[in-house]
Each structure stands twice: as structure tokens, then as C-alpha cells.
Amino acid sequence: MKNLTIVKELASLRQQINEHNYRYYLLDDPLISDAEYDRLMRQLVDIETTYPELITIDSPTQRIGAKPEHGFHEVKHRIPMLSLENGFDDQEIYDFNDRISNRLDVDHVIEYCCEPKIDGVAVSLIYEKGQLMLAATRGDGHVGEDITQNIRTIPSIPLVLMGSNYPELLEVRGEVYMPQAGFDQLNNDAKEKGLKTFVNPRNAASGSLRQLDPAITATRPLDFFCYGVGDVGSAVLPEKHNEILKKINTWGLRINREIDVCKGVDACVEFYQKLLSKRNNLGYEIDGAVIKVNHIKLQNQLGFVSRSPRWAIAYKFPAHEESTKVLAIEFQVGRTGAITPVARLEPVFVGGVVVSNATLHNMDEIARLDIRIGDTVILRRAGDVIPKVMSVQLEQRPANAQKAILPKKCPECGSNVVKSDNEVIVRCMAGLFCPAQRKEMIKHFASRRAMDIEGLGDKLIDQLVDNELIHHVDDLYKLQHESLSSLERMGEKSATNLLGAIEKSKQTTLPRFLYALGIRDVGEATALQLANHFGSLDAIIDGNNELLEAVSDVGPVVAGHIHAFFREQHNLDVIKSLQVLGVHWQNIVVESVDSILSGKTVVLTGTLVKFTRDHAKDILQSYGAKVSGSISKKTNFLIYGEEPGSKLEKARKMGVAMLNENELIELLKQCGYSHNE
């Protein structure tokens, strides 16, 4: 009787899995998430393992090929620790190989070194005369943090190199990670002690390395894999990447045993697939495969782009997915008045974190997904990407599922909401008077890159607004010591310090002030361009759309936002009040430019050799040209370098004048430019 029940359960599981295979592979219309599919397969494997006599040749398990801070000193890296380009499917890897072949101008098979992409923390280790002298985090790639004392607590990192013949200076680069077993034990111990647990091994490794007390780091189960070298001084190392790894391994540095040399791109894709099948059994987290050109000479020949080497790519594993229920759909009001629907979800662990919210962007997206309150949805989160609702499992929709209804009034202030003809976003029109926008506007105004009012944090701004001490940004400069010091957690000294910071912020710059106003689509770069182009705030206020569009990077849409902002009287009133209260800046002297490039619109594309794109842009603008990012009817010249891309063909079709780099230099010489300057 028991066997009969098992047979029926097996038949049901096999039927479900076969149906899901059909929908996934043939119809490209999956009904369940990858995680749910994996659970079904695991359930089937478990039963077949227990009852091997019930395994049939048509079971899905038998299908061939279907296997599933503060306190750390800054350290400037001698050689930048760049990030990697990402690929997400086979075609992107084949495209990468094509770019390598074309750039090297070869038609033979290229040799690659393939490695697991460890999901940990990238670090740099400096050995001098064989002794570990310095360890640093990657940081922003140029500057990291000194974590030497914490690194010294990791048993797999040698304090002194083994053997001999190692370079006098050796910079080793690798990944510090926490093995899965150690992570599980760490969290179990934390639970027993009532402490906060870590969300994933990478988070635990990062937190452990940033402990100010090395004794705490020493209790954490950290490990290390080396993936390459940085600065080695004048030392001569082997000619291939994999041979370098083998060599440093003889000096006592741990390398990953899954590393392999692959002849050609097909072998790289095969390596990726094999690694993916091992992913859950390695004992540590990996999130893809790293593919590197193996010959160092070819690496040097290929070089780098601004943020990554041309000779390497990370082939990322598929995004993590899970299913969960939509508990509610609420609407939030942002700083610019945009009203955004947000799905409140039944909490689910996906992609290494617990997710309970996901933005639905706008009502068009809600309609596209046909998502309703009570639905079961597939949620995807890849790496550090914001969770995204991918689809709705319509077959699981309950009878009482409710549609989301766009509010006719702002959920924060009750004002009217409006949708522009050219936008999918609905906005509250209350501007500075909407509580949601008011708080965010003030937070933006006071932020470090705007007016830089030190000590005026988000919680304090919330208090000031909630207690009706400030209604608009100019009210910040009317605050009194008595009212401030009476606030929660705000004593006499804190109030004095804050008033001092507010007073200090009165002296600012025109670009900072423009950015602080929070005009839609006017970021720091655009604010700087506006300031340099017009020189004064009055000139910007008086500028019409045509004059505004003459500014680099300001198109019709942004010009419209700027023009509309300064046509609102309450905005002008606030600006005037700020100036009366003492906020001031120096106007910028705008030199008139008269050259053959004056007023011309220029587009740059491709890689320039004799100067960087930014340098070329600065030079062109200094002679009165407007540098745009896209080809249009207004474009006068296209300047192209190596690998120009689609802009060259578009310019050719539109009859736009095209200049190579040498022709650009000749044109600039006519404006008085000397290439030696």
C-alpha cells in the first residue's frame, strides 16, 4: 500500500516537471520560479534515491544533459583594482571572443584561463622580501582601506612566503570569503546568543574584515583564494596567467582548484556550464565564471578601458528567483512628486537577502504584468540589483484578488495628481508644499554635494518638519537656538554646532546652489554646465528654452524642466528669501568665444588616441562648441576614433560631416589650438 502511494507521488512529480520543462524550453512561458522547479526536482531525486527500484528510464532525473569603517587608513593602490565587464548569456561570451580576435587581428583559437568568480571581498596583499607588510580592500578601485591586522588572522594567508625565488615586491590579489559551513555555524551561534545574523556569506566576510578589533575577526571562519597579481616591481613572472597562479601557489598562496585552461571560446562556455552544475556543492558561494586571456603579452596588448580590462569578462550565473505573495500595493511620493506603486510582499529570501518590497515603477507596468493584490509572483534579484517582479502566476490567482487603483489625490497631501502626455509617471503638483516632497527637497538641499549642511541628517529634518519648525528650505536659515535645543536628542551644544553649519553653508557656489534647488534632471554635471555657460543665476532664470538648449548636455526635455521651474513664482520667492537671508556665491566670468566652432554641435564616438574623450570635450567647449551625446539633425560634426559603433553609420546616413582624430586636430588648429599645449 505504501509503495502504491509512492508510485502515485512519483508519477505526479514527473508529470509536473515534464510540463514545466515544456513550458520553459519550448514555450518560453514558465509558470513557476527556478527555485520552485529546483524544489520539485530535489523532491523527485530524494524519493528515487530512497526507492531506486522505482526509477524509470523516462524520469526527468534520467534525461541526458538536463542536470541542473571608520578607523581604517586609506591605501592608494599602486595599480588600480578594476572591475570586470559582465556577460549573462553564451552570445555575450562569443561577442567578447570576437572583440578579442578583432583587436588582436588573429583568426586562430585564443587560449583562456577560466576561474570561479568567488562571491567575497576583493583584497590586495603586499609582500616585501617574502613578508606580508600590507593588506587593503579594493575600495573604489583606486583607494582602499588598510585591513592588514585583520588579514593576518586568516590562517590560509601566509605571513611569510614559502620557498624561494619570489619577487622582492609581490602584490597578490584575491578574494576573502566565508565558507558555507562556517557561515551557517556563525549564524547559529548568533541566534543562540540572541544576536543579529548575517544575510549571506559575502556580507559576513565583509563585516568581519571591517572589525576594528582584530580579535573579533580572528573568531570568524574566513578563507582566501588568490586570483592574480598586481605590482611585482621589476620581477619577471611566467608568460601565462595560469602559470603565474601555479608559481605563487608554490610560495604558499592558495589558488582555486577549479581553475582550468580553455582552448577557444567553446571550451569557456563548457567550463561555465560545468561550474554551474557544481555551484551548490563547492562549499562556498560563487556567482559566475571569470574568463581571462591567458597570455600576459596579449593582455598587455589588449589593455584596458576606463573601468575594466579588455582581456577579461565575468560570465554571471542566472539571476536568483523565488515566488511570493503580494500582500498590498501602496503608492509612495518621491522628491519630484512622482507617485510610484510599491508591492508589499510576503517576506522571501532571494539572491542572498530577505525581500519584502518591490517597486512596480508605474501603472503601465502594473497593467503589463496584470498584477493584483493577493497574486503569487516570481521575484528576481541578481547580485546587488533591486528586486524585480518578473511575472504573475495567473493559475494561482485567488478569486478575491484586487486590482490596484491609482489614487486621484496625492496620498501624502491630498493635492491633485497629473499625468503629462509624454510621461508614464503620475505626479503630485503640490511641489514644495507636499509633506513627502518637502522633506525630500530639504534633505536634498542640505546634502553634502548640495549646500553641505553638516549635522543636518534625515531624522533631524523629519523632526523639524513634523514639529513645523521648517516648511521650505529657506526656513533653515530662520531657525533659532531655543527651538532647536528643545528637540529630542538635540542639546545646547548640538544646536550651536548645527546653527554654525547652517551659517557656514551660506557661502556656496553657483553650481552647488543650482544643484541644491532640486530641479528635475539637473544633476551636479548639468548644474556645472549651466553655471559655466550663463555665469549668473539671473541669466539662467531669464533664459528661454532655446538659450538653455545651447548648454552642453541640456536637451529640449531638461530645458523644459529648468524653464518651468523658474516660471513658478513660489520657487522664485524661496530663492529670493534665501538670498535675503545671506546665501550667496560669486558669479562666473563667461568669456566670449568666437571661432569656427562657435555654436556648432559636435558628437564624439569611439576611442581617441591622442587625447581622452573628456579632454577633447573640454577643448571643443572652450572654443564654443556644444558637445552632444547623440546624433540629430542639429549635429554639425561627428568626431570618431577607434571602434566608433553605430553613431558613425547613423551620421553617414544623415549626411553629417565626419572627422577623424587627425582632422579634428587640424580643425582645432584653425581655432588657435596647439596640440603640444
CA 423, CA 441: separation in Å to the nearest integer?
22
Phi first, then psi, for residue 189 (nearest 5°) are -65, -40
Question: ∠ at Cα 427 (426, 433), nearest 5°?
Answer: 165
Q: Give the residue from 458, 571, 443, 579 showing the smallest Cα distance to 519.
A: 571
Amino acid at 136: A
Establish how many alpha carbons lie within 13 A of residue 656's alpha carbon, considering only the half-sphere containing its beta carbon: 26
3-state helix, strand, coil in the chain (%, to 5): 40, 20, 40
Helix (H, G, I), strand (E, B) or coil at 630: coil
The catalytic position among 67, 76, 117, 408 is 117
Relative to beta strand 312-316, strand 85-87 is: parallel
Amino acid at 112: Y
119 contacts 280 by C-beta, under 8 angstroms: no
Alpha helices in 193-305 (DSSP H): 201-209, 214-218, 241-250, 265-278, 296-302
CA 382, CA 388: separation in Å to the nearest integer?
9
CA 408, CA 428: separation in Å to the nearest integer?
10
Is-catalytic flag, 117? yes
Burial class of residue 653 in the structure, from the number of CB atoms within 10 Å of its CB (0-12 exposed, 13-18 middle, 19+ buried): exposed
Cα of first residue to Cα of last residue in the chain, in angstroms, is: 92
CA 48, CA 51: separation in Å to the nearest integer?
5
CA 646, CA 659: separation in Å to the nearest integer?
15
- For residue 24, what are the CA distances in angstroms to 29, 37, 201, 316, 379? 6, 10, 31, 20, 16
Helix (H, G, I), strand (E, B) or coil at 283: coil
430 contacts 415 by C-beta, under 8 angstroms: yes
Residues forming a β-bridge with 255: 226
Strands of 523-636 (E only): list them.
601-605, 626-628
Relative to beta strand 626-628, strand 601-605 is: parallel
Q: In sequence order, what are the residues at sequence separation of 6 or more whose Cβ sits closer than 8 angstroms to the Cβ of residue 9?
A: 47
Active site residue ranges: 117
